[in-house]
Amino acid sequence: MAVAAPRQTLESFSPTTGERLGAVPAIAPEDVQRVVDEVAQVQPFWSQLPPAERGRHLRRAAQVILDEMDDIRDLIACEQGKPRTEAYLMEIVPTVDALHWVAEAGPKILADEKVGFPQPYFKTKRAHFAYDPLGVVGVIAPWNYPWTIPLGEVAMALMAGNGVVLKPASLTCLIGERIRYVFERAGLPEGIVRTVHGGGAVGQALVESSVAKVFFTGSVEVGRGVGEACARQLKGSVLELGGKDPMLVLADAHLPNAISGALWGGFANAGQTCSGIERVYVMREVADRFTAGVVAGARRLHVGDPLSWDTQVGPMASRDQFETVRELVDDAVASGATLECGGPTEVPGCDGAFYAPAVLTGVTHDMRIMREEVFGPVLPIVVVDSEDEAVELANDSDFGLGASIWTRDRHRGERMAREIESGMVWLNDHMYSHGACQCSWGGVKDSGLGRAHSKFGFYECVNVKLVTHEPGWVRNFWWHPYDETLGRALGATAKLIYSQRDADRQAALREGGVPLARLVGRTLRSFGRR
């Protein structure tokens, strides 16, 4: 009797202690298409439900999260390393809010949208935009925000009538599996959301499968490959590929607020945030006070076990990411920068890779730490002499996800915001809008393509179809046969409707009046023959 091959599993380990947390079934790359096909069989039923009914399912998913919130919180803390408070703040609460917003706004945004015809020669026409589901959408999730990023994208795809295949990050596979469970527990059709677990080959297989679109969050290198593979199949992709977000501190900034914002924007989630502050440009007039405040605040942040309520900075999600951060900081110091505080540290009773919040001064733009994404709790501070210099340096980057400007002068801030090359600019705040699903999210340059969240995120999940109606009472006057009457009438019509000079319109009426009258008569005669 043949013995079945053992089923492969993907194990998950705590970044804090190294202990095994659990395992999920892994899938072979060649089996990914089968999963996509199975979701495709369920998707037509789901898409035929009224949008309001799909919204009710998403509200129930939000309630499931609330009912199991503490358990989910500790799963995030244990598997990804976020402190408990951040698990609430940056993962759980935003997704509950997003599910409610998607359920409320989705039916309105996705409803048929009337298209007007101001052109007099189209007055009998009627048209609307219809937003059709794509079919099955693939979501490839990151490890830094393993709950809120994929869950929001899955929710919007579902609201638009699609099925979803989710590929969680291998480091946070248990969290990804819990997302699927939430939607099943909420009563969505079985199989409308599926997860596939495995390494990069599984993600590649999902990209190359028959999914209609791919939402990918991750590195520039991998994201570029995802976009190229999708383009070869003539299907779309939404790519969120990281950032090197600048913070511009002007001379009139409210410094206590700017200092607090730098600490949170730079060190939340141990700095492992695509839109975290990775560069600070501060005006010389306030540079000493600002830097002193940031250094003092960084030293006060408690590094420790994410399950402890007083922990503000947890472990790096992986030893590899820790080594990347250490290498970039060491390179900056070797190139002349000064490490004011922070660096590798140990936490009693924990075997994880911990990096205390670091502040660097004396950095220059030719250092690697100012060019490459650090993705760790490090704030390099650069002193500038003018707002123009700050903007120029902020734009001197391959990335363009977000940026923040700190000033008490709103008009100045908004003027500078228009000069910043990024997908988002916040005045006197940073990155909070990811927690407001009505706001668009995405970047320019190497930070990616497309938008998540907001009405634009919905538009990424649908085929925008134009549907028109003509009563058919009369034939269109521009149809065959062509003759001089039609040609002269068309020329006269263009000048009568669009010319900005009275003389042109009067001449068109004199020269084209007869052809126009003949054309109208000919058209009306066709109405009589209907």
Q: Active-site residue numbers?
A: 240, 274
Find out whether 145 and 81 touch, Cβ atoms under 8 Å: no
Q: Which domains does the chain have, with CATH numbers?
A: 32-241+456-465 (3.40.605.10), 245-435 (3.40.309.10), 484-522 (no CATH)
Contacts of 69 (CB under 8 A, 6+ apart): 88, 92
At 527, the pLDDT band (50, 70, 90 cuts) reads: low
Calculate helix-pair angle for 484-498, 502-528, nearest 10 degrees: 130
Reply yes or no on whether the pLDDT at 65 is more than 60: yes
Mean pLDDT value across residues 442-454? 97
pLDDT band at 523 (very low <50, low <70, confident <90, very high): confident
pLDDT value for 526: 65
pLDDT at 530: 54
Q: Is the pLDDT of residue 452 over 90?
A: yes
pLDDT in tens, 156-171: 999 999 999 999 999 9
Mean pLDDT to the nearest integer, 452-468: 98
Average pLDDT (190-213) is 98
Q: What is the pLDDT of residue 306?
A: 98
Q: Which of 46, 202, 70, 204 is nearest to 135 (CA)?
A: 46
Three-state DSSP class for residue 134: coil
Residues 6+ positions from 350 with CB-CB distance below 8 Å: 16, 17, 304, 305, 315
Q: Are 255 and 282 in contact (CB under 8 A)?
A: no
3-state secondary structure of 38: helix
- Compute the average pLDDT of residues 106-117: 97
Q: For 226-253, how does the pLDDT look when each residue is reduced to its tens digit (9 = 90+)? A: 999 999 999 999 999 989 999 999 999 9
Single out the residue of 303, 405, 305 nearest to residue 358, CA to CA. 303
DSSP 189: P
Indicate the residue type of 116: G
Q: Residue 1: pLDDT above 80?
A: no
Residue 198 predicted with pLDDT over 90: yes
Q: Answer for the pair 464, 491: CB distance below 8 angstroms, yes or no.
A: no
pLDDT in tens, 120-148: 989 999 999 999 999 999 999 999 999 99
Residue 55 pLDDT grade (very low, low, confident, very high; cuts 50, 70, 90): very high
Residue positions counted in the chain: 530
Report whether pLDDT(415) > 50: yes
pLDDT at 191: 97
Give the residue-averaged pLDDT of 87-91: 98
Cα distances from 330 to residues 134, 243, 336, in angstroms, run: 47, 21, 10
Rounded CA separation 32/408 (Å):
53
Mean pLDDT of 382-402: 98
pLDDT over 70 for what percent of the chain? 98
- Residues 479-491: what's their mean pLDDT? 91
pLDDT at 522: 83
Distance CA 172, CA 451 (A): 24
Residue 438 has pLDDT above 70, yes or no: yes
* pLDDT above 60 (res 3): no
The mean of the pLDDT values for the chain is 95
Q: Is 194 left (phi over 0), alpha (psi -120 to 50) or beta?
A: beta
pTM value surpassing 0.85:
yes
Amino acid sitting at position 311: T
What is the 3-class SS of 213-278, one letter each residue?
EEEEECCHHHHHHHHHHHHHCCCEEEEECCCCEEEEECCCCCHHHHHHHHHHHHHHHHHCCCCCEE
Residue 378 has pLDDT above 90, yes or no: yes
Scan for tokens 């706004």, then name that residue.
Answer: 105
Helical H segments across 304-362, by residue range: 319-334
Pair 149, 91: CB distance under 8 Å = no
- At 270-289, the pLDDT tens digits run 999 999 999 999 999 999 99
Tokens of 366: 């030719």
Shortest CA distance to 161 belongs to which of 186, 193, 129, 134? 134
